[in-house]
Amino acid sequence: MNCIRLTSVLLLTAGTVFAQTAAAPDNSRPTEPAAIKSFDLKAIDKSVDPCVDFYQYACGNWIKANPIPADQVRWARSFSLLGERNRYLLWEELSAAAKDPKTPLEKQYGDYYAACMDTSRIEQEGLKPLDPALKRISELKDAKGVSTLMGDLEGAGDAAPLFRFGVQQDDKDSSRQIAALSQAGLSLPDRDYYLVDNPRFQKIRAEFVEHVTRMFTLAGDSPEEAGKEAAAVMQIETALARSSTSRTALRQPENRYHIYTLTELDKLAPEFDFSYYFKAVKVSRFDTLNVATPDYFKELSELIATEPVPAWKSYFRWHLLHAAASNLPKAFFDENFAFYGRTLAGQREPTPRWKQCTSMTDRALGEAVGQDWVKVNFPPSSKASMEKLVAALEKSLGEDIQTLPWMSEATKKAAAEKLAMIRNKIGYPEKWRDYSALKVSRDDLMGNLRRTAVFERDWNLGHLGKPVDEKEWDMTPPTVNAYYDPSMNDINFPAGILQPPFFDPTIDPAVNYGGIGVVIGHEITHGFDDEGSQYDGKGDLREWQTPADRAAFKERTGCVADEYSGFEAAPAHGDVAEQKLNGRLTLGENTADNGGLRIAYIALQNTLASEGKNLDETIDGYTEAQRYFLGFAQVWCQNQTEQAARQSALVDPHSPGRWRVNGSVQNFDAFGKAFGCKKGQPMYPQHSCRVW
């Protein structure tokens, strides 16, 4: 429900990017993953020249020795391995709570997990849990009823696909929380899948229609009727795709900020009864809201008026089946996985059920589960060490700002003021969320999912008109990730990422600064990337650079965008064209990678100097400068399926590991000097890009 509050995250993991690659009904006991080394000499491929391809040098042997597991689409040395270990530790907690809960909180999340794991009940119940929603859809009589249906479905916690509605901070007054609408409604990963006319997308569209047809057939329709329904779904979603704003355009805050009165909203989309919808989802009264994508809602209204009622019934039935497929009988699950897992993402086998249920419980009750998880896995000493590291990185960015040759003194002062106002949230929330109002039943999985959806919706909508709570988190404690929120102007580091290989208190500073230090620097730099730099220290969308400085800034970010647009995401073969990265979509993350690498290096120099050491000291044959860059690179060692790589290039604002490493080091002269490269070599070019 938190529909438009865009945050800049360190990494979107496979489970986030590739929706519906969910779990099989497999109850096998998991094996505890091994601890992960912070620095791996064996990963290095010394047959490669680091000045030619540093990523391959730092990761080559690891890449050869670590093929993608059958239940994954991306396998990364840091994020995947640590994510698997954290999930296992979380599973231990959930499994124990499901068998023998010691507290009311343990019983709540133990029952949630147990209900998810009860695959025999899923088989027995079939589609029965969907009957109330299917009945609502079958009763749709006319186009005006689409709004009633959307409201009733969402009010009950069922899939309501046409758009997202929720509460966000006002971009231009971050002290206010306002209602907001944004586009949605598509089943394929991006609008390009519907609109781009090339052999690859044509094939995927045909396979999608076949998949939807099979799902309707499993639901009891005749093959002929199912085919007609699938065609109707495709027709509606193609129309919605045409009216959708691109991901790249939505990265610009002004493109997603349009304040409407309710009267103006009714004129924009007269065929949709928003008054009924708002009443159905039980939002409190408001007079204005942000309509992030007005063209979408204008076209949606026209589509409601022109598409026949049977087509809308098919569309809503499909999305109900699609949203529930992971938790329906095996025939539905298998069909869902065959398309979304195998065809779209290249995943060979479904994810084991225990992983799916562990992740599902974490999403639903993250701060309930997290309270107990951090007691065991995140000691106070780790939080104290992180606070020192963050302070060191903020100090180095402050120093960097003062040396920028392209920035005027007035803008340097404003940047320093914003930096000083960044709030740091480390490990877990100061105040845990209260889940006592969420009813959990051990024998009602679909009911739990619906009640969770309603609970989350009510929690989000309850923020409307209230003061902003700067202590809230958008990630759960075990998450292996981090994020920056421009409206909050805060950086957030869950406990899950504050472990080896990112952070290890027993290893030399160079490796820690190359790991968690660059992560910190990355998130801080997001406050000053092409998007974050448009917000001031209070989190308001307001220009604080002089016109000349903004022009210089755009010139430098343009250099980064053009550079990364030349990088290959997937090679050409047969009638499938080469896939390049979209340097405009990935610009914020690439800017943060480049800035994070630079300011963490400055912080490392300062730390070593305070200890009477320098970057030339050697450990295991590598200088501290070299170990810093190797520690950074080994965070991003990864293997990825081609399907996943192509999908990521369209939907993921992050570059793949190879270019997060090579793209960053080739823009930082300190790397070339550390490895004795010659000017003009690929990793030490004559001309490079620099923003921060």
Query: CATH code at 268?
Result: 1.10.1380.10
Question: Is a pLDDT exceeding 60 seen at residue 26?
Answer: no
The residues, ordered by sequence, that sit 6+ positions from 603 with a Cβ below 8 Å of its Cβ are 389, 392, 393, 395, 396, 513, 517, 521
Q: Which band of pLDDT confidence, cut at 50, 70 and 90, is reported for residue 35? A: confident
In the prediction, which pLDDT does 10 show? 65
21 close to 71: Cβ distance less than 8 angstroms: no
pLDDT (mean) for 618-625:
97
Q: Which band of pLDDT confidence, cut at 50, 70 and 90, is reported for residue 11? A: low
Catalytic residue IDs: 523, 593
Report the percent of the chain where pLDDT is more than 90: 93
pLDDT (mean) for 32-60:
95
Q: What letter does residue 167 receive in the DSSP assignment?
A: E
Q: What is the spatial distance between Cα 239 and Cα 194, in angstroms, rounded to a whole number? A: 9
DSSP H or E segment with residue 496 = none
Q: Between the CA of residue 199 and those of 191, 192, 205, 462, 568, what are the distances in Å?
A: 16, 13, 10, 47, 19
Report the percent of the chain where pLDDT is more than 70: 96
Q: How many domains does the chain fold into?
A: 1
Q: Is residue 638 part of a domain?
A: no
What size, in residues, is the chain?
692
Q: Which domain holds residue 197?
A: 127-323
**What are the tens digits of pLDDT across the range 455-495?**
999 999 999 999 999 999 999 999 999 999 999 999 999 99
Q: Which band of pLDDT confidence, cut at 50, 70 and 90, is reported for residue 689? A: very high
Task: Record the tokens describing residue 385, joined without a space.
Answer: 């060490």
Task: Record the tokens describing residue 659, joined without a space.
Answer: 């270019």
**What are the tens digits of pLDDT across the range 433-442?**
999 999 999 9
Q: Is residue 145 part of a domain?
A: yes
Q: What is the spatial distance between Cα 499 and Cα 85, in angstroms, rounded to a whole number? A: 11
**Residue 296, helix vs strand vs coil:** helix
pLDDT (mean) for 175-198:
97
Task: Record the tokens describing residue 584, joined without a space.
Answer: 């405009």
Q: Is residue 289 part of a domain?
A: yes
Q: Is residue 402 part of a domain?
A: no
Q: Is residue 265 part of a domain?
A: yes
Question: Is a pLDDT exceeding 50 seen at residue 276?
Answer: yes
Q: Is residue 171 part of a domain?
A: yes
pTM for this prediction: 0.94
514 close to 670: Cβ distance less than 8 angstroms: no
Question: Is a pLDDT exceeding 80 seen at residue 129?
Answer: yes
Q: Is residue 266 part of a domain?
A: yes
Question: Is a pLDDT exceeding 70 seen at residue 24?
Answer: no
Question: Is a pLDDT exceeding 80 seen at residue 164?
Answer: yes
Cα-to-chain-centroid distance, residue 83: 14
Q: Is residue 153 part of a domain?
A: yes
pLDDT (mean) for 87-113:
97
Torsion of CA 441, 442, 448, 452, to 10 degrees: 80
The residues, ordered by sequence, that sit 6+ positions from 196 with a Cβ below 8 Å of its Cβ are none
In the prediction, which pLDDT does 687 show? 95
**What are the tens digits of pLDDT across the range 332-356?**
999 999 999 999 999 999 999 999 9
